[in-house]
Amino acid sequence: MELNTIAPEVKKKNAKRVGRGIGSGTGKTAGRGHKGQKARAGGYHKVGFEGGQMPIQRRLPKVGFSSRKNDTARVRLGELQFEGNEEITIDVLKEKKIISHKAKEVKVFLSGELKEKVNLKGIMVTKGVRTVIEDLGGKITE
């Protein structure tokens, strides 16, 4: 085996050279047709351009935006101090209008004081809140 006998496994195909005379088969207009914007060098339109007609993204009305990230409502520990708070669930907090009716999850954080024991069901809590509730004799269930 000599260096001059080595060849690649698959022969590379040369790129088609357009605009190199009538005998090449791709001469004169070089596959671009006759005249027009697309036949010119550097001539093309921007994305969404409709030839001067009002583009569809401007014809259609704007529709509102609602964030999907604000599903978790935040509740202070002091807000759990209300009548009938033996077992607190997300539905109880929605009835008392402590959280929005759109909220899907609730997390209680340490702010304010809690004087009575409470039982939380299906509500997330921080470490500090967990210690306060358990010290008062309450329970946190998932």
Give the tens place of pLDDT for each residue, 30-70: 999 999 888 999 888 889 999 899 999 999 999 888 776 77
Domain ranges of the chain: 72-141
Mention every residue, 6+ apart, whose C-beta is less than 8 A from residue 22: 28
And the tokens for 126? 């921080």
* The pLDDT value given to residue 1: 83
pLDDT at 10 (0 to 100):
84
Q: What is the mean pLDDT of the chain?
A: 89
For 110, phi and psi rounded to 5 degrees? -80, 100
Q: What is the pLDDT of residues 98-135, one digit of tens each?
A: 999 888 899 999 998 988 889 999 999 999 999 999 99
CB 26 within 8 A of CB 18: yes
Which CATH number is 72-141's, of 3.100.10.10, 1.20.1600.10, 3.30.1330.10, 3.40.50.11610?
Answer: 3.100.10.10
pLDDT for res 86: 78
Residue 81: is its pLDDT beyond 90? no
In the prediction, which pLDDT does 83 show? 81
Cα radius of gyration rounded to whole Å, the chain: 35
The whole-number pLDDT of residue 66 equals: 77
Whether the CA torsion 78, 81, 87, 90 is positive or negative: it is: negative
